[in-house]
A = this chain, B = another copy of it.
């Protein structure tokens, strides 16, 4: 099946993704076959508050990349849902428009219950999409929450989307977002207050950091995902950032960070499952108060699986 994915077969990709996301026994073999292609796509993370227009923007980006002849993957990450599958994407017409296009693959991932909102399976899904031949992978978070933390662990390029009506949110923007975002997008820039929002953001960025991370000047772009205004500039900015990552060596560092995270999550997940299944012998001790959780944990950590 891995070979089919590598040859661009969409059905095989869909089946592989299911095996990876369900942590099936075949997942490791697939990922080993896919991994040589890892790092071949630009992974673009879209984050921002609910209502900022992340889904609409994602749909627009997909359409523009398709028009440019690029192969695109979309991972919609939902940290609040424990259910795998893509049912809720049915509502999202703008993305759904591409459902019959063989150069786009869309998958939603539930990540509730994962360390840091990220599961190692997200990385596996990215490996599969890259093996399938994606040039760009858009990782969009669905739902509420401070998604930039999740996105920054997975993406090469982080886009933070906000709107002019979210002035308070911009004012109160956490330092974390400033550090994590590579491009700021003020969506619905046809609304009044857009200029102020953009200049507020620029001021905050100027105060927040000096020359930018590794020489990158974080742009603040006004767009309208609905009308298409400003999208060519956003696309150019995304390409520019990909070039910057390549030329500065920062791309390699980010890839390392992603692999570190992936392996660590994978290891701890295995250990968690092993611990759950192998610790029955200790439970009576605990219920009878002959030991305590930190002591049992320390013993398990010292002794490996037991």
Chain A residues close to B by CB (< 8 Å): 27-28, 31-32, 35-36, 38-39, 79-80, 82, 112-117, 120, 123, 144-146, 149, 252, 255-256, 259-272, 275-276, 279-280, 282-284, 286-287, 289, 292-298, 300-301, 304
Contacts and interface: CB of A to CB of B under 8 A. Distances in A.
A137 to B, nearest CB: 17
A301 B82 contact: no
Contact of A32 (B268, B269, B294): B294
A266 B295 CA distance: 11
A51 B210 CA distance: 45
A275 B268 contact: yes
Contacts of A280: 260
B293 A275 contact: no
Contact of A293 (B79, B120, B282): B120
28 contacts: A28-B294, A32-B294, A35-B289, A35-B292, A35-B293, A80-B145, A112-B117, A113-B116, A114-B115, A144-B144, A255-B287, A256-B283, A256-B287, A259-B282, A259-B293, A259-B296, A260-B276, A263-B286, A263-B293, A263-B296, A263-B300, A264-B276, A266-B294, A267-B271, A267-B297, A267-B300, A268-B271, A304-B304
A23 to B, nearest CB: 11
Contacts of A266: 293-294, 297
A272 B276 contact: no
A265 to B, nearest CB: 7
A261 B296 CA distance: 12
A279 B263 contact: yes
Contact of A259 (B117, B268, B269, B287): B287
A255 B267 CA distance: 27
Contacts of A294: 27-28, 31-32, 266
A297 B145 contact: no
Contacts of A31: 292-294
Contacts of A296: 259, 263
